[in-house]
Amino acid sequence: MYDLRLKPMENHPAFIKINQAGIAEAADMALIMERATAERASQPLPQQPGEEEVLCLERRMSIHNSWAFAAYLGGRMTGFVVGHPSIFESTVDQSFDKEYLALLMVDPEHWGSGVGTKLLNSANDHANKIGKKSIELWTVSNNHRAKSLYKNRGYRLVDKPQRQTRHGLSDLYRLDLS
């Protein structure tokens, strides 16, 4: 049987607003990060961000020339992306012509809604606009949703050994920009 109920218009992907974000939004971002991590681990979703995650985001956003974008749907933050020049990231090839996408997180309530695609497009556009030749990122090997998003947006798996993180084995992806 098909669900024929209409979705509220404010939840339509066309209503996703992408804004630049800063350290002031770190707590909202941290909560989204924790909720996404909990959902992938089949754990209860937290209602408040942890102090460690807020500090992690604040540190990332304090890196020289870092950038962040947040997605809003119906006036509520639903996802974010944070990046910086790869020269400040020891886990990738450090180069002045590459950007590093450090985090892309979407609240589980909005998975599959187009939020991740819009955030990734914003990151790609930003890197292209500032003259970078490529973007690299690590993603957890068993995060099939993220891997599908990256592959569909032109990222390719880099032939490099996997890296162990606190979330599990991770694979390196790269997008070459034109």
CATH number of the structural domain spanning residue 145: 3.40.630.30
Total tally of structural domains belonging to the chain: 1
> Which structure tokens are listed for 38?
């909990």
Nearest CA-CA partner of 105 in 132, 71, 56: 71
pLDDT in tens, 55-112: 999 999 999 999 999 999 988 999 999 999 998 888 787 889 999 999 999 999 999 9
- The residues, any chain, with a CB within 8 Å of residue 86's CB and separated by 6 or more, are 92, 93, 94, 95, 98, 99, 100, 136
pLDDT, residue 178, reads 74
Q: Tell me if 94 is assigned to some domain.
A: yes
Count of other CB atoms within 10 angstroms of residue 9: 9
Q: Tell me if 5 is assigned to some domain.
A: no
